Structure 1
Amino acid sequence: MSSNETRGRVAVVGSLNMDLVVRAPRLPHPGETLAGRTFAQVAGGKGGNQAVAAARLGAQVSMLGCVGADANGAQLRAGLEVEGIDCTALETGAQASGVALIVVDDASQNAIVIVAGSNGELTPETIARHEAVLAAADVVICQLETPPDAVHAALAAARRLSRTVILNPAPATGPLPADWLPLIDYLIPNELEAATLTGLPVATPADAARAAAALRDAGARNVLVTLGPRGVHAALDGADATLYSAPSVKAVDTTAAGDTFIGGFAAQLARGASVDAAIRFAQRAAALSVTRAGAQPSIPTRAELDESA
């Protein structure tokens, strides 16, 4: 970034996991033992991924979450600090750090099982202790890999502080509580999450448009439904619905593509970019991430995007 370019502030409230990643020809069937090809252990968690993405893509980032007092926790914290992320609001809990078991197939699709561990120790009291971190941010990002009462507390605090609030409703298990929607500026589900939130099928861009409209009718201000290689459906307050086409790339691993999009989008909003520019920038970042293996290792930097422009 040039020295005269605005560098906004992003606070991420969410999960940190150690990802245990196996590559296999395909995803296993129930009860099946399948021979894998490779194994890797890398830092992940939707909160951690989104924090790293926002930092690499130009924002000053603070992480609010909880890791364990174990080797994974130390490694997760150190990895964030290497990225220049402020970890003063990253607490150490009594449980082991969260882990995610990930299988990636030859079509670059994945299946993930998460054990929350210390992520489950994030509470409304934790949020209250670190409210100054939210107050200092331009944009606050939350997801659903931490307890719902803590997520709601973060959303409510960020709204009261007049911050721009992003919720990535992942993993979604059903409709969001009605009182959450007025707290959120940008609700960003993928197609599976949009279907879960609305009860509508989301298999095509037209389906995504219907789901986004339903979420707007329920009270969401702005809805971005990410559709992978089919783009992003944007239903924005005061604007016509728009389908943003995705850059065409050869995918290797889609594990952190959505998190890269969220981080890039937040980083651009935090520096004052338009929503249109932020979406297009985030799409380019996500497209580059899927050409690489791993979660956080796949996330590009702002300089790499500038070089590829």
Structure 2
Amino acid sequence: MSFIAGTALTSPARTGGCGSVVVVGSINVDQLIRTERHPKPGETLIGSSTEFLPGGKGANQAVAAAQLGAKVHLIGATGRDSQAEVAKAILIGSGVDLSGVHTVDDPTGLAIVTVADDGENTIVVIPGANALVGAEAVETSATDIAAAAVVVLQGEIPPAGITAAIRMATGRIVLNLAPVITLDVAVIRRADPLVVNEHEAALVLAQMDPQRRTPTEDAELVTALRECGIASVVLTRGAKGAICADRDGFNIVDAPSVIAVDSSGAGDAFVGALSAQLATGVVLLQAVQFAVRVGAFAVRSHGTQVSYPTLTDELPTVNTTVCA
């Protein structure tokens, strides 16, 4: 297969000394369906509306980082269909470098997102072109990956693509293993940080140490992953904020209290903000404290990329409790 390259918020990403962020990941169109509640198995419900919006974890994280001032390069793939233009619209508007996005014959990825009135969502992803972001596609951007201060990866592309990117990276690796896919343990250990929610954390731990009992508490999950040889771990907890742990300590960071309208893409907003901050050289705790505010901002409106803040937006007030 050959590929064709197709008061205001203040972020340290604007203060100078910021390295580049390379995101290797998925690009989708989200079919967003709104309904009063989620259907039970076998049940048919009447939805209130539907629309098509740009999405994909890779694209979402790239937009979130770029809108917060980072220099972002995205590596991925879209189809030759009309949906590709929808998928790339906000990426282009936010200034993301798309020279590493390949055009392939498979259709652009599609995510079917159902959002209930309480803000909770369910997502079914059809990978399409994203399934072709393997080692060959990633290796065409080897120079950009090697030069990046931060390389960001997720679980919506093939394991071979993730492994190739990690092998070429010389900067910090942010591995958001969502969804959780099977990777070599040595590859997961390159994460700094590994970013997962509580469900993903348990699945990753089972890969790292199959004989280990799965902890029931979030804090224990983070500690167990660190004990498996991962340099730093960030566990996202939705409205409860996040836990982060690295060589500097173990910290609990509370999120601002907001009224959630749509939680889809909030985790990606968090990862994008985290990556933009890490590219400036700040410590992990400071990056997480900023990222929880960005995630809280994102849940206050519908959609993924369209809900992300820019440097002119005011973030919700943060109340952080830090426990060393």
> Structure 1 pair 225/307, CA: closer, same or farther in 2 (3 Å)?
closer
Is the Cα–Cα contact under 8 Å of residues 293 and 316 in structure 2 kept in the other structure?
Answer: no
2:225 to 211, 215, 218: 215
1:147 to 134, 139, 158: 158
Q: Provide the TM-score with structure 1 as the length reference.
A: 0.92
Is the Cα–Cα contact under 8 Å of residues 152 and 180 in structure 1 kept in the other structure?
Answer: yes
Return 5+ residue gaps in structure 1 as ranges: none
Query: How far apart are the structure 2 equivalents of 1:234 and 1:89?
Result: 31
Percent identity, please: 37
Is the Cα–Cα contact under 8 Å of residues 191 and 202 in structure 1 kept in the other structure?
Answer: no
The aligned counterpart of 1:185 is 192
Query: How far apart are the structure 2 equivalents of 1:117 and 1:222?
Result: 32
Q: 2:16 is matched by which residue type in structure 1? A: E
2:179 to 164, 171, 176: 171
> Structure 1 pair 298/138, CA: closer, same or farther in 2 (3 Å)?
same
Query: How far apart are the structure 2 equivalents of 1:269 and 1:26?
Result: 37
Displacement of 1:172 in angstroms is 1.3
Displacement of 1:181 in angstroms is 2.5
Displacement of 1:307 in angstroms is 9.4
The aligned counterpart of 2:73 is 62
Is the Cα–Cα contact under 8 Å of residues 296 and 316 in structure 2 kept in the other structure?
Answer: no
Query: How far apart are the structure 2 equivalents of 1:201 and 1:296?
Result: 34
> Structure 1 pair 6/239, CA: closer, same or farther in 2 (3 Å)?
closer
Return 5+ residue gaps in structure 2 as ranges: 1-9, 207-212, 319-324
Displacement of 1:210 in angstroms is 1.1
1:14-163 equivalences under 5 Å are: 14-158=25-169, 162-163=170-171
Displacement of 1:136 in angstroms is 2.8
Q: 2:311 is matched by which residue type in structure 1? A: R
Q: Provide the TM-score with structure 2 as the length reference.
A: 0.88
Tell me which moved more, 80-89 or 129-138.
129-138
Query: How far apart are the structure 1 equivalents of 2:231 and 2:71?
Result: 26
1:7-54 Cα distance to aligned partner (Å, 9 max, x none): 431100000000001111111111111111111110000000000000
1:218-253 Cα distance to aligned partner (Å, 9 max, x none): 2211000000111111121x2331111111111111
Query: How far apart are the structure 2 equivalents of 1:193 and 1:4?
Result: 34
Q: 2:54 is matched by which residue type in structure 1? A: A
1:194-234 Cα distance to aligned partner (Å, 9 max, x none): 1222256676xxx1111111211222110000001111111
1:292 to 290, 298, 301: 301
Tell me which moved more, 2-11 or 58-67.
2-11
SS for the counterpart of 2:273 is: helix
Query: How far apart are the structure 1 equivalents of 2:17 and 2:313?
Result: 18
SS for the counterpart of 1:261 is: helix
Is the Cα–Cα contact under 8 Å of residues 90 and 305 in structure 2 kept in the other structure?
Answer: no
Aligned length: 301
> Structure 1 pair 208/306, CA: closer, same or farther in 2 (3 Å)?
closer
Displacement of 1:77 in angstroms is 2.8
